[in-house]
Chains A and B, each alone.
Chain A
Amino acid sequence: MTDNPTNTPEDVDGPRRDFLLISTTTLGVAGVTLAAWPFIHSINPAKDVLALASTEVDLSSIEVGQAVTVLWRGKPVFIRHRTEEEIKAAEDVDINELRDPQSDADRIQRPEWLVTVGVCTHLGCIPSGQSLGDKRGDFGGWFCPCHGSHYDTSGRIRKGPAPFNLRVPPYVFTDDTNIVIG
């Protein structure tokens, strides 16, 4: 120590101070970055939200040609008991002419049951077509009233602004008439 207040880092010993400065700053930045994670993660879905993330559906009461809408993770899921004609219409499409090419077989587990998330892939509206009197669009599936997207009987986008087919959620058949979504 000295009385002279004019000592600057440069004329004491520069490299040693540079090392201290850089290592302190690095450690500080790393620490703050790590400390930020609990805050960021705290607004991710909590454990109780994740615990409610699957939905069980009994299919036995849904007649051929009928459809039901169930709530899964706060969103509607369309379950349609397809007729023979609807299945045939979905299978007969040349997938090369589709915007989001996918065969019907890739979108189902059992041909008579189509399960899709009922959220238009354009901007998140719910397409109509679940009830018999609803507008179903040009391809007999669903029609989104917001911006006019037409989906076919496999839930694939055929016309309108939506970029992708209706999403197929993960689900399993626990037996012949019950599925668990999620």
Chain B
Amino acid sequence: MKRTQSSNRLVQWIDDRLPIFSYADQNVIAYPTPKNLNYWWNYGSIAGILLVIMLVTGIFLAMNYQPHAAVAFASVERIVRDVNYGWLLRYLHMNGASMFFIVVYIHMFRGLYFGSYKAPREILWMVGVTIYVAMMATAFMGYVLPWGQMSFWGATVITNLFSAIPLVGDYIVTWIWGGFSVDVPTINRFFVWHYLLPMILVMLVVIHLWALHVHKSSNPLGIDIKTPQDMMPFHPFYTIKDLYGLGLFMIVFLYFVFFQPNFFGEADNYIPANPMVTPPHILPEWYFLPFYAILRAVPDKLGGVVVMFAGVLILYVLPWLDTSKVRSATFRPIFKQLFWIFVADCLLLGWLGARPAEGIYLVLSRLATAYYFVHFMVLLPLVGKLEKPKPLPSSIYEEVAKKCRAKED
């Protein structure tokens, strides 16, 4: 174990007993980071900071929220109208959820483009997928808490997915509800889960970072770190780059918070939950729409649920579906095109998820769903074998040096 470099005797005394100072130095300050990370590598730290923002706003919201079906809606309105700065806390939390998904999606697509999931970072990737799944569960249950029409019917529809399970489906749904419909016990336990899951998320993030720090960050060239010259200390180079990106991100985030706080929401969720009336046009939050489109594309209840969950879970085996040894799409001409087609396919699915499930939309949904799985199960294994990658640079250091010389000239 490396000793702390500090000459302060108190720091040395503490570090000898609890090595927090040398730990911080190794993992944050001197932490060796590839020299060539671009701005797509900012989104991990932004996601981490958003998690903290969500936790803090959530804790303070919980101090005024009442998880009871009779008063939940009114308690949220009271937060917005009567609690000091309650409107700010709620809109930070509400828009923070959407921002969290935007940031995590960019973070994931960055991983897909630059092959960050490949050896030796498979477990790092799988922990990340677990974080994503936990985030979806947390977001879903959080959306139920304001107890508006969309909350109630979203909860009804999503929990009913489990009724597709053969034989025991109905019992499981009753068990999840704690009754025979989404009601008082449901909102109470959803509140508990919504508060508990973020704590589990924090632990998952720690594991994610632990795995990350073993082989260090991947990089845009996708080649291994070979010499110390390939790296820079994290501080101040990447702390300041992360902070700059964070500043730009906060401008966008706070624009929505202050000027368009309900942009990502549904107007129907400002109508108190009514178990007697379903809104005519019910749809989930935007970040679930691609999977919602997949669910509706399959003309079978159990089949739709299975395919939809498969759409998420297939990410776990992605490191073994992509057979190419080359990580970065920069050196994979065919994969690069397939990547962008895949991005377009996901966006198309998201758009279709918000359309009615009929006519041309249904046809397109089926095609886009089929392509989604073909990309993972057919194209990735095949292209990895057939494609001829471009020659890889010999080192990160040389490539960075070449770019700098080109800039100077």
Let me know if A46 and B407 touch, CB within 8 A: no
Shortest CB distance A120–B (Å):
28
Let me know if B407 and A1 touch, CB within 8 A: yes
Let me know if A44 and B84 touch, CB within 8 A: yes
Q: Which residues of B contact A43 (CB under 8 A)?
A: 60, 63
Let me know if B84 and A42 touch, CB within 8 A: yes
By Cβ-Cβ distance, the 5 closest A-B pairs, closest first, are: A38-B85, A47-B82, A48-B82, A46-B82, A41-B84
**Which residue in chain B gives the minimum CB-CB distance to A44?**
B84
Q: Which residues of A contact B236 (CB under 8 A)?
A: 9
Interface flags, A27-48, vs B, CB<8A=1, else 0: 0000000000111011110111
Q: Which residues of B contact A41 (CB under 8 A)?
A: 84-85
Q: Which residues of A contact B405 (CB under 8 A)?
A: 3
Q: Which residues of B contact A42 (CB under 8 A)?
A: 60, 63-64, 83-86, 89
Interface flags, B184-221, vs A, CB<8A=1, else 0: 00000000000000000000000000000000000000
* Number of B residues, CB within 8 Å of A: 23
Docked complex Cα distance between A25 and B86 (Å): 28
Q: Pick the contact of A46 from B35, B64, B88 — CB < 8 Å?
A: B64
**Which residue in chain A gives the minimum CB-CB distance to B88?**
A38
The total of Cβ contacts below 8 Å across the A-B interface reads 47
Interface flags, B43-87, vs A, CB<8A=1, else 0: 000000000000011001001100000000000001001111110
**Interface majority SS (helix, strand, loop, mixed), chain B:** helix
Kindly state whether residue B229 has any CB partner on chain A within 8 Å.
yes
Kindly state whether residue A133 has any CB partner on chain B within 8 Å.
no
Q: Which residues of A contact B18 (CB under 8 A)?
A: none
Let me know if A38 and B232 touch, CB within 8 A: no
Kindly state whether residue A60 has any CB partner on chain B within 8 Å.
no
Let me know if A39 and B83 touch, CB within 8 A: no
Most B Cβ at <10 Å: residue of A3, A41, A42: A42
Q: Which of A55-94 contact B (CB under 8 A)?
A: none
**Which residue in chain A gives the minimum CB-CB distance to B92?**
A38
Most B Cβ at <10 Å: residue of A1, A2, A49: A1
Let me know if B407 and A38 touch, CB within 8 A: no
Q: Pick the contact of B89 from A3, A39, A47 — CB < 8 Å?
A: A39
Q: Which of A1-17 contact B (CB under 8 A)?
A: 1-3, 5, 9
Let me know if A38 and B89 touch, CB within 8 A: yes
Docked complex Cα distance between A49 and B64 (Å): 12
Q: Which residues of A contact B56 (CB under 8 A)?
A: 39
Interface flags, B374-409, vs A, CB<8A=1, else 0: 000000000000000000000000000100110110
Q: Which residues of A contact B408 (CB under 8 A)?
A: 1
- Offer 21 A-B interface pairs, CB within 8 angstroms, sorted by A: A1-B404, A1-B408, A5-B35, A38-B85, A38-B88, A39-B57, A39-B85, A39-B89, A41-B85, A42-B63, A42-B85, A42-B86, A42-B89, A43-B63, A46-B78, A46-B83, A46-B84, A47-B81, A47-B82, A48-B78, A49-B82
Docked complex Cα distance between A41 and B401 (Å): 52
Q: 12 other contacts beyond A38-B88, A42-B89, with CB at 8 A cut-off? A: A1-B407, A3-B404, A39-B57, A41-B84, A42-B63, A43-B60, A43-B63, A46-B64, A46-B78, A46-B86, A47-B82, A47-B83
